[in-house]
């Protein structure tokens, strides 16, 4: 019996086990833009689905098909951590102005077909400090952990996340920088790098670490400003990592930092990072808390450490599409070739931007284009961090492709797919 017949047979049995559940449900999705949209992230909410189906247990999910019967890769994610999935995530292509109908067939999780992994998050821990790393889904950083101490406690020094275009990592220590790996292959590779035998600072079949972070904020690392000074997210009383979703179409994880002491002001910071397949960026929902948090504005940034030409820093006021953009299209990578970096935020969250000094003392932030947020006005701010390497696509060098990608993303985010359940 082939897989389609097996699934169909199981659905018939399932209908008897879950009375009231029908064999198929339908959802319509509309692209209001006069342009094609490829690998468009779409999230179907469980609460909205259950208005059609009635309540169902956590054993049940849905096989998603197009109107012509093609199976659509999908995943269910428990974003709020209550033990039951609340979001059904898919990536879809749309023609200009197109409305598509999806078919949702109820099925148990174990009978879903395997899908190609296009997004992944990983943290490898070596408790014995012997270069043997075990993947963990949650981790509390030891209070006595020292940055860059050898042998490494964490594989490539902290959590990594990737899709089929590029990969990132964050230093899970007092530096708290963020870095980018350029990729030559769509495969998921972060489980297998940072191990003895091959340095990710050297070119490999998959790519390499392409960014020099130094004392900058790298790509999307966090700081705060009180209007006079800027303070890096550094030593904290506690730091926690938790993986929430791990592909096939998106990966989601959280970082939480507690007891961040800035001249006696005790703050906490948290961010939820999401990366979707097919994109040249990740997104962060970031929140600052504490009795004195109102004194500070959240800051992120992109490095200008190896900026080749000042004329390649651009600021775009994409107000019509509700976003502010900073792009640097001429950074020298660690491979001595071309790297483009960018930041984007909703205009409601955006406050200003500035250049950090070229030099500084101690752990002072230097050589960074910094974006400042109106972080005291909302529970969280959201921003998007972009990168493009010429070895992945030569147009990042020849055509300033990142500018186009970022402006298209602003257009997409301000004109989301309309979902009719």
Architecture of domain 119-413: Distorted Sandwich (2.70)
Rounded to an integer, the average pLDDT of 376-395 is: 94
**Residues β-bridged to residue 13:** none
Q: For residue 146, is pLDDT > 70? A: yes
pLDDT at 309: 79
Torsion over CA: 160, 212, 276, 300 (sign)? positive
Condensed to tens digits (0 to 9), the pLDDT of residues 387-421 reads 999 999 999 999 899 999 999 999 999 999 999 99
Looking at 356-400, list the stretches that DSSP marks H as alpha helix, in order from N- to C-terminal side.
395-398
CB atoms near residue 260 (< 10 Å): 23
Condensed to tens digits (0 to 9), the pLDDT of residues 148-159 reads 999 999 999 999
Q: Which fold has domain 3-115?
A: Immunoglobulin-like (2.60.40)
pLDDT at 316: 76
pLDDT at 14: 47
Backbone φ and ψ for 364, nearest 5 degrees, come out as -60, 140
Give the C-alpha separation, 262 to 292, whole Å: 10
Q: How confident is the model at residue 176 (pLDDT cuts 50, 70, 90)?
A: very high
* Topology alike, domains 3-115 and 119-413: no
Condensed to tens digits (0 to 9), the pLDDT of residues 318-345 reads 766 899 999 998 889 999 999 999 999 9
Q: For residue 11, is pLDDT > 70? A: no
213 Cβ partners below 8 Å, 6+ apart? 175, 177, 178, 179, 221, 303, 305
Residue 7 vs residue 311, higher pLDDT: 311
Q: Which of 52-61, 82-91, 400-409 has the lowest mean pLDDT?
A: 52-61
Condensed to tens digits (0 to 9), the pLDDT of residues 209-241 reads 999 999 999 999 999 999 999 999 999 999 999
Give the C-alpha separation, 390 to 401, whole Å: 10
DSSP β-ladder status, 350-355 and 313-318: unpaired
Give the C-alpha separation, 271 to 141, whole Å: 16
Q: Where are the domains of the chain?
A: 3-115, 119-413
Give the C-alpha separation, 45 to 30, whole Å: 16
CB 304 within 8 A of CB 216: yes
Condensed to tens digits (0 to 9), the pLDDT of residues 335-371 reads 999 999 999 999 999 999 999 999 999 999 999 999 9
Q: For residue 9, is pLDDT > 50? A: no
CB 64 within 8 A of CB 121: no
**Helix, strand, coil proportions of the chain in percent (round to 5)?**
15, 45, 45
> Both ends of the chain: CA-CA distance in Å?
33
């Amino acid at each position: 019996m082939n897989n389609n017949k097996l699934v169909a047979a199981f659905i018939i049995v399932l209908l008897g086990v879950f009375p009231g559940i029908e064999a198929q449900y339908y959802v319509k999705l509309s692209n209001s833009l006069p342009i094609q949209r490829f690998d468009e992230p779409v999230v179907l909410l469980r609460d909205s689905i259950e208005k059609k189906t009635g309540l169902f247990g956590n054993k049940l999910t849905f096989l998603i098909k197009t109107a012509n019967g093609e199976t659509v890769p999908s995943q269910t994610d428990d974003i709020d951590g209550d033990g039951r999935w609340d979001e059904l995530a898919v990536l879809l292509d749309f023609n200009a102005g197109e409305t598509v109908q999806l078919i949702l067939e109820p099925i148990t999780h174990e009978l879903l077909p395997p899908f190609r992994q296009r997004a992944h998050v990983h943290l490898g821990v070596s408790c014995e400090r012997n270069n043997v790393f075990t993947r963990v889904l949650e981790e509390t950083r030891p209070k006595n952990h020292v940055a860059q101490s050898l042998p490494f406690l964490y594989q490539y020094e902290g959590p990594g996340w990737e899709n089929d275009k590029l990969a990132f990592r964050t230093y899970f220590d007092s530096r708290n920088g963020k870095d980018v790996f350029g990729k030559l292959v769509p495969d998921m590779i972060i489980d297998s790098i940072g191990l003895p035998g091959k340095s990710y600072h050297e070119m490999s079949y998959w790519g390499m670490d392409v960014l020099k972070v130094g004392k900058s904020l790298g790509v999307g690392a966090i700081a705060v400003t009180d209007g006079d000074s800027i303070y890096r997210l550094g030593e904290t009383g506690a730091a926690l990592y938790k993986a929430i979703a791990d592909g096939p179409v998106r990966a989601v994880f959280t970082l939480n930092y507690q007891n961040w002491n800035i001249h006696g002001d005790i703050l906490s910071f948290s961010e939820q990072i999401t990366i979707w397949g097919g994109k040249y960026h990740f997104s962060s929902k970031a929140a600052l808390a504490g009795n004195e948090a109102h004194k500070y504005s959240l800051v992120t940034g992109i490095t200008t450490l190896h900026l080749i030409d000042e004329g390649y820093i651009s600021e775009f006021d994409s107000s019509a599409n509700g976003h502010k953009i900073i792009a640097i299209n001429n950074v020298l990578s660690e491979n001595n070739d071309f790297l483009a970096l960018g930041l984007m935020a909703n205009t409601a969250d955006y406050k200003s931007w500035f250049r950090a000094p070229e030099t500084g003392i101690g752990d002072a932030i230097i050589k960074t284009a910094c974006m400042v947020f109106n972080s005291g006005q909302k529970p969280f701010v959201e921003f998007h961090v972009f990168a493009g390497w010429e070895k992945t696509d030569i147009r990042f060098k020849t055509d300033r492709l990142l500018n186009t990608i970022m402006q298209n993303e602003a257009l997409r985010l301000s004109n989301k797919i309309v979902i009719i359940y």
